[in-house]
Amino acid sequence: MELGNHNHAAATLVTFCLLFSFTFSHASSFYPELNPIKPRHSRLLRSAVQRETPTSQLSEIWSPLENQGWKPVESRNKPTLPEKSEGYIQVFLDGGLNQQRMGICDAVAVAKILNATLVIPYLELNPVWRDSSSFMDIFDVDHFIDVLKDDISIVKELPEEYSWSTREYYAIAVRDTRINNSPVHASANWYLENVLPVLQSFGIAAISPFSHRLSFDNLPMDIQHLRCKVNLQALEFVPHIRTLGDALINRLRSPQGSAGEIGSNYLQEVTDGGDSKNAGKFVVLHLRFDKDMAAHSACDFGGGKAEKFALAKYRQVIWQGRLLNSQFTDEELRSQGRCPMTPEEVGLLLAALGFDNSARLYLASHKVYGGEARISTLRQLFPLMEDKKSLASSYERFQIKGKASLLTALDYYVGLHSDIFISASPGNMHNAVVGHRTYLNLKTIRPNLVLMGQLFLNKTMEWSEFEHAVVEGHQNRQGQLRLRKPKQSIYTYPAPDCMCQA
């Protein structure tokens, strides 16, 4: 499977699986499999720890992307507001933060198609992430309204006469003003034919579900540009997330700076000299390796019999044999690139790509199955590894503590501003950040999971051969611009809809 082409159906599936596993997340939040986790690729690991990265490789991996001749598109037509609003559009968005982000962009587009006034989207409480933060807790709502003020009308709340139109009102009965049947990737015409009449009769239409409910193809250019504008200009995180993000970025860039009240791990020895290739630079690694994902893949992650048993049991309880993957052997799954990489494997990939042990790594991650036992192998290869916890003081973390959406927002922000971003896990976060960085022409490495799976199966390969194959297999996966193909997401592939040739 190619990461970048990871489609929405699959991304939704992951969310879907997570939803089902919710009831077990308490039980699975610790690692019950008591055996210590041994490295799975100890031969490679030994060589990787002792690696000497040639200067040429080091300078190549840290060098920024060259200009590829594309720049952000500017809409030719001056935006105009409709003379009169057809009514209010309300959307209820489920999924995690990055799925909701796409929903917000689509909601603006649908309101524009219908000449309607948009009510600030309602973010549903996600049963897995359980963060009740509202749009305004996450995004700068005044900035949002201001950037779009010439395109559509937006209100923070419904006026008094429509205040009955709430989530609770729709939860308890079938209502005429609720649209619950929008097809996946519906056309503009579908909205004109099915939602406009509701607006005209009632003055309001509430659309739910609304995830992935607007087509990526056959829409007027202005509507596509508007979606880009929402995603890439109008959606900014609230000031306290940006301020904290900037502080973390500063600490990653100049680690000698004042430590103040920063977390305990922060004052690590700085080994990079002033003139080395990566001085002041950092790479963000997005790694999702939680129990749901591990179990869902049905792969073997080297935790021995206890882990195998625990994951099989988890699969049985949650998916009850409905998983296709469990029909394949670990070897088959690996050679098809269907196994998420473990922290150890991601470490080997990064080491082979040419990151030496002075590389500063920011780990954007929620929860790693196996915890520190699993992360320690990665840390062995990259001792200067940081995360939100090690970089921010407990005081700084107080406002976002336990709030999954805000934690994700912070990781998104730091990931967006990193010198290099690499996501080891396909999904909405990967897609959103990859798309945004493409727009800004920033270096982004996309792991080749098929190749990595095959290399990790080979138990006799020497480090030099492994390294060579990894470098070769990732030459064209470092941010080279890929044009969107039909059906692909405009948010993952911003060219050519949001960008044009300079």
Ligand X SMILES: *[C@@H]1O[C@H](CO)[C@@H](O)[C@H](O)[C@H]1NC(C)=O
The site for ligand X (CB under 6 A) is made up of: 82-83, 86, 114-115, 192, 196, 458, 460-461, 465
Contact 348, 45 (CB under 8 A): yes
Residue 317 and residue 22: Cα distance in Å, rounded? 12
Distances (CA, A) of 85 to 88, 288, 370: 8, 43, 54
Residue 231 and residue 239: Cα distance in Å, rounded? 17
Residue type, 102: M
CA 135 to chain CA centroid, nearest Å: 18
Region of residue 482 (phi > 0: left; psi between -120 and 50: alpha; otherwise: beta)? beta
Contact 443, 421 (CB under 8 A): yes
Contact 6, 427 (CB under 8 A): yes
Nearer to ligand X, 33 or 86 (CB): 86
Nearest to 258 by CA among 148, 393, 163, 353: 393
Distances (CA, A) of 464 to 37, 45, 61, 173: 26, 12, 17, 65
Region of residue 370 (phi > 0: left; psi between -120 and 50: alpha; otherwise: beta)? left
CA 473 to chain CA centroid, nearest Å: 23
Nearer to ligand X, 86 or 396 (CB): 86
Encode 135-154: b = buried (16+ Cβ within 10 Å), e = exposed: bebbbbbebbbebbeebbbb
Q: Give min distance, CB of 117 to ligand X, in A.
A: 12
Nearer to ligand X, 226 or 249 (CB): 226
Which backbone phi and psi does 190 adopt, to 5 degrees? -55, -45
Nearer to ligand X, 83 or 157 (CB): 83
Residue 478 and residue 456: Cα distance in Å, rounded? 21
Nearer to ligand X, 320 or 460 (CB): 460
Nearer to ligand X, 83 or 176 (CB): 83
CA 286 to chain CA centroid, nearest Å: 8
Name 423's Cβ contacts closer than 8 Å, sequence gap at least 6.
3, 285, 286, 287, 429, 430, 433, 434, 446, 447
Nearer to ligand X, 458 or 480 (CB): 458
Q: Give min distance, CB of 459 to ligand X, in A.
A: 8
Q: What is the DSSP letter of 274?
A: T
Nearest to 424 by CA among 352, 301, 341: 341
Nearer to ligand X, 50 or 460 (CB): 460
Q: Give min distance, CB of 458 to ligand X, in A.
A: 4
Q: Give min distance, CB of 187 to ligand X, in A.
A: 14
Q: Give min distance, CB of 196 to ligand X, in A.
A: 6
Nearer to ligand X, 196 or 279 (CB): 196
Q: Give min distance, CB of 354 to ligand X, in A.
A: 19
Q: Give min distance, CB of 106 to ligand X, in A.
A: 17
Nearer to ligand X, 307 or 467 (CB): 467
Q: Give min distance, CB of 137 to ligand X, in A.
A: 32
Q: Give min distance, CB of 384 to ligand X, in A.
A: 31
Q: Give min distance, CB of 28 to ligand X, in A.
A: 35
Q: Give min distance, CB of 452 to ligand X, in A.
A: 14
Residue type, 425: S
Residue type, 247: A
Stated as kind and residue range, the H or E segment containing 230 is: none
For residue 286, the cross-strand partners are 364, 423
Nearer to ligand X, 466 or 491 (CB): 466
